[in-house]
Amino acid sequence: MFNKGTELLNLCKKQNKKIYEIVIEKEMNDANISYEELMDKMTLVLDTMINSSNSALDKEIISISRLTGGNAKKMENYKNQNKTISGDLITSAMARALSTSEVNASMGRIVAAPTAGASGILPSALITTKERFNLSDEDMIHGLFTAAGIGEIVAKNATISGAEGGCQAECGVASSMAAAAIIEMVGGDVEASLNAASFALINILGLVCDPVSGLVEFPCALRNASGVANALISADLAMAGIKSLIPFDEVVDAMYKVGKAMPETLRETALGGVAATPTGEKLKKGTL
Amino acid sequence: MKNYGVFDILGPVMIGPSSSHTAGAARLGKIGQEIVDGNFYKVTFYLHGSFAKTYKGHGTNRALVAGVLGMDPSDERIKDSLNIAKEKGIDIEFVETDLGYEHPNTVKMIFHYKNKDDYYIIGSSIGGGNILITNINGNKVEFSGDYPTILIKYKDQKGSISRISSILSDRNINIATMKVSREGKIATMVMEIDNPIEDEIIGLITLLDEVIYITGINPIER
C-alpha cells in the first residue's frame, strides 16, 4: 500500500522491486484478482491503445463536430520525408499521440489515460520506447503498471480532472505517468522514474484547459503531441542523472495548488484561453 | 482519501471523446433501458446544463441513444446509433432544457409507449464515466449503477425493512447500501447488493403484502 511517492520509493527499496511490481501486487490484493486476470485486463488496455495510436496514421479521421482531424496522417507523411526538424523519434511519437486524439474525437475506441482528453500521450510514449530499444509487449505492460502507480498517487493527492486542475492535471499527469514508465522500460531506477515524473509535471505546471467550443479537440490534440515529447525529454533528463530539486510529492502538491488558484474560466469551461479568442468564439457559434 | 485502482487511472476503455459526455451518457441510457419495459416506441431526452450546450460535438446524443438500445460504453456502433434507432423504428427526440438545481450533465429520459403511460428516469454523469440516477418516474432515488440494485415501492408499515432484508440475508446476500424515503404513506427503498439479482429474490419480495412495485437493475459496464 502506498499513498505518496516517498512511500512507493521506500517499498521498492525495501523489497528490491520495481514500481510496476509493487503496483501489480497492490492491485491483485485490492481488487482480489489473480495475476492472470490482471494481465488479461491490462492486455485489453494495451491492445486498445496500440490500435488507437495507429489508426489515424494512414487515413484521415475527422471529428464528429468536423472541426478537426487529419493531422496524424499529415505528421506521419511529413516524418516519412526525412526532413524533420526534431527528428524521427519525436515526430513519430507526435503522430501517434495525434492519432489517438483523433480517434477519440471521432467517437472511436480509446483508453482514458488518465482521461480521454489526454489519452494519446501514454500509448505513444510506450510504443515509441518499445521500438527505439526493441522491447517486448511485456515491457509495455510493465510500463502501463508503472504509469498507473504514478497516476494513482496524483489522483489521491491532487486531481486528474481538467475541470478541477486545468490541462496540467490531464496532459501534464499523463506526461508524468509516461515519463516514469519510460524510465522503468529502459532499466532506470525508481529515483530516476520519480525524477522524470517530476520534470514532466514541472515543465507544464500552470497549463490551462481551454477547449475551443468546449470540445475535446483543439488544443487538446496538440497538447497530446507536445505531451508525449515532454514525457520523452523528461525521461532523458532523468536518465542523464539530473535530479529534481523539489521531490515528486511536493511537485504534485504544487500542481494541485496551482490548479486551485486557476480561475474557473481556465478550467474546461471554454470561457478563457484560446477558446475565448475572437476566432474561438466564432467557431463556438458555428459548431453548437 | 479515496483509494484508486490501476483501471481507475488506465480506463475506462471507451468510445470518445469525453468520459462524462460520452461514456457516462451511454451508461445513463443503458441503465434506463435496464429499468424500463422494452417495448417503447419513442424516447425523449431532456438535456440540461453542459449536456444541452455541447451534446452534438461530444456525441452525447449518440451515446444516450446507444445506451437505450442496449449498447455498452465501449461499443464502436455508438457512432451510428441514431441510424440504428431509425432502422429499429424507435423515434428519438432531443430537447434542450433547464431542469433546475441539477448537476451540469443531467438528462431526463422519457420512454413513450403505445398502450400505457410514459415512464421517466433522471440521471447525471458525474465524471470519469461515473453516473448517478436521481429519479425514477417520480421516485427520488440515488444510486450509481455500479452494483446490482433493487428498487422497491411499498405501503409503509412496521417491520417492512426487516421483512425485506431477511429475505436477502436468508439467501446469503449482503446489502452494500440501503436508502429508504417516504412520501405520504408510500415508502421507496433502494438497495445496492453484492450479488447478482436473481428472479427468485424479486419474486419473494413481490409476495409481501405491502409491496406495490419492485424492479431489479443489473450493474452497467464501464
Give the CATH number for residue A110. 1.10.4100
**Contacts of residue B26 in chain A, CB cutoff 8 Å?**
none
pTM of the model: 0.90
Is the Cβ of A230 closer than 8 Å to some Cβ of chain B? Answer: no
Full 3-state SS string of A211-237? CHHHCCCCCHHHHHHHHHHHHHHHHHH
For residue B94, give Cα distances in angstroms to A80, A105, B56: 46, 22, 11
CA B71 to chain CA mean position, Å: 14
Query: Among B3, B11, B59, whose Cβ lies nearest the Cβ of A107?
Result: B59
Interchain CB contacts (distance < 8 Å): A and B: 140
pLDDT confidence of residue B102: 82
For residue B160, give Cα distances in angstroms to B153, B163, B167, B179: 11, 5, 11, 13
pLDDT, tens digit, 9 for 90 and up, residues A110-159: 999 999 999 999 999 999 999 999 999 999 999 999 999 999 999 999 99
Per the DSSP assignment, residues forming a β-bridge with B105 are: B49
Give one word for A287, left, alpha or beta, with left for phi > 0 and alpha for psi -120 to 50.
Answer: alpha
A246, A198 contact by CB (below 8 A): yes
Residue A148 to residue B56, Cβ atoms within 8 A: no
The CATH label, of 3.30.390.50, 3.40.50.300, 3.40.50.1370, 3.30.70.260, for the domain at B149-217 is 3.30.70.260
pLDDT confidence of residue B1: 63
Q: Which residue of A23, A27, A64 to mutate against B (max B Cβ within 10 Å)?
A: A64
**Contacts of residue B62 in chain A, CB cutoff 8 Å?**
64, 107
**Contacts of residue B18 in chain A, CB cutoff 8 Å?**
116-117, 216
Is the Cβ of A65 closer than 8 Å to some Cβ of chain B? Answer: yes
Range of the domain at A88: 5-287
**Contacts of residue B23 in chain A, CB cutoff 8 Å?**
112, 116
Amino acid residing at A267:
R
Q: Which residue of A22, A50, A107 to mutate against B (max B Cβ within 10 Å)?
A: A107
Q: What integer is the mean pLDDT of B182-196?
A: 92
pLDDT confidence of residue A142: 98
pLDDT confidence of residue A38: 98
Q: Which residue of A109, A161, A170 to mutate against B (max B Cβ within 10 Å)?
A: A109
Is the Cβ of A118 closer than 8 Å to some Cβ of chain B? Answer: no
pLDDT band at B3 (very low <50, low <70, confident <90, very high): confident
Q: Which residue of B3, B6, B60, B80 to mutate against A (max A Cβ within 10 Å)?
A: B6
The Cα of A72 is separated from the nearest Cα of chain B by a number of Å equal to 16
| B6-137 CATH | 3.30.1330.90
ipTM of the complex: 0.97
Residue A111 to residue B19, Cβ atoms within 8 A: no
> What integer best gives the mean pLDDT of chain A?
96
Query: Among A67, A109, A177, whose Cβ lies nearest the Cβ of B13?
Result: A109
pLDDT confidence of residue A195: 98
Closest CA to A107 of B203, B58, B161, B112: B58
Q: What integer is the mean pLDDT of A203-218?
A: 96
For residue A269, give Cα distances in angstroms to A104, A243, A265, A276, B58: 19, 36, 6, 10, 14
The answer, yes or no, to whether residue A288 has pLDDT greater than 60, is no
The answer, yes or no, to whether residue B109 has pLDDT greater than 60, is yes
Report the length, in residues, of chain A. 288
**Contacts of residue B84 in chain A, CB cutoff 8 Å?**
none
> How far apart are alpha carbons B27 and B32 in whole angstroms?
8
The answer, yes or no, to whether residue A213 has pLDDT greater than 70, is yes
For residue B97, give Cα distances in angstroms to A288, B44, B107: 15, 12, 9
Residue A31 to residue B56, Cβ atoms within 8 A: no
Residue A118: phi and psi, rounded to 5, are -110, 20
CA A36 to chain CA mean position, Å: 26
The Cα of B26 is separated from the nearest Cα of chain A by a number of Å equal to 12
Strands B42-49 and B91-97: parallel
Residue A116 to residue B127, Cβ atoms within 8 A: no
Domains of chain B by residue range? 6-137, 149-217
Residue A215 to residue B17, Cβ atoms within 8 A: yes
Instruction: Work out how many domains chain A is built from and give that number.
Output: 1
